[in-house]
Amino acid sequence: MAKTPVRTRRSGSQLSPEAIIEASLRIAARGSQDAFTVRRLGEELGADPTAIYRHFRDKDELLLSVADRAYGEVLEGIPDGLGWKDRLRALANGSLRVALKYPAVASITASRTTRRINEFRIVELILGAVTEAGLDGADAALYYRAVADALLAYVGQSAAYVLFAPEIRAGDESSWAREYRMVDPGRFPGIARLGTELAQVSAEAVFDVRVEALIAAIEARAASLPEDATRT
């Protein structure tokens, strides 16, 4: 029984890069209950697992293409007409949303460059925001990188976390309520005093603090520049 393929699309077997990317996203959307492997991909496509090597050099090239498709989903969710701060907030929130939708992709992509069209669009969006904030030249480049790398790191971290096996996650989550509540108050006074508050912090609030810290840093840098920085 247990071996019948999910979708039997054999014989014809007309594969294409698009079909493979879409199948990858379907698998990635299943989160921790379905690993994103070449063999699983073959099953999902109703083809031999190695058939994808006819359309992508290796799994890494496929991954970058899939990630760029996910970037496209992020961009679709960002409305027009926002000021630079709200544009960055929309980018951050959208990135987190899409990363949690496809955690297997987001967790691997966190330190990668897709060098594809939607990444270009996101780079342009961030550059536009820091420029609108009043930065230019080396400053704009530096703060662009800080924002881009930080966002990738944040959402990649969140994605990796939801991918952990449930037992591991349960252990990590309960640690504030267990191990951290049993520390010696003499040796760890801060932990003992703030144990309750530490257990109650929400991931959303932490994410907000981190995003707002970046926005404030851009604003502070722009404010520290000489007035004549009103570029043409």
- Give contact residues for a second copy (rule: CB under 8 A): 60, 110-113, 115, 120-121, 123-124, 127-128, 131, 137-138, 140-146, 149-150, 152-154, 156-158, 160-161, 164, 168, 171-172, 175, 179-180, 183, 188-191, 194, 197-198, 200-201, 205-206, 209-210, 212-214, 216-217, 220
User: What ranges in the chain are assigned the alpha helix state H?
Assistant: 17-28, 38-45, 59-76, 84-101, 103-109, 117-132, 137-163, 166-174, 189-200, 203-223
Shortest gap between Cβ of 34 and DNA (angstroms)? 9
Q: Which is nearer to a second copy, 18 or 172 (CB)?
A: 172
Q: Which is nearer to DNA, 54 or 97 (CB)?
A: 54
Task: Say whether residue 145 binds DNA (CB under 7 A).
Answer: no
What CA–CA distances, in Å, run from 38 to 27, 46, 48, 75, 156?
11, 12, 9, 28, 21
Using CB under 7 A, which of 7, 10, 97, 145 touches DNA? 10
Q: Which partner, DNA, a second copy, none, binds residue 209 by CB below 5 to 8 Å per kind?
A: a second copy
Using CB under 7 A, which of 26, 30, 59, 181 touches DNA? 59
Q: Which is nearer to a second copy, 51 or 199 (CB)?
A: 199
Q: Which is nearer to a second copy, 93 or 164 (CB)?
A: 164
CA dist 128 and 144 (Å) reads 9
Nearest residue to 102 via CA among 7, 36, 169: 36
CA dist 47 and 39 (Å) reads 10
Nearest residue to 116 via CA among 67, 68, 166, 56: 68
Longest dimension (CA), the chain: 74
Task: Say whether residue 55 binds DNA (CB under 7 A).
Answer: yes
Shortest gap between Cβ of 199 and a second copy (angstroms)? 8
Nearest residue to 84 via CA among 120, 127, 118: 127
Task: Say whether residue 169 binds DNA (CB under 7 A).
Answer: no
Could you tell me if 87 and 129 are in contact, meaning their C-beta atoms sit under 8 angstroms apart? yes
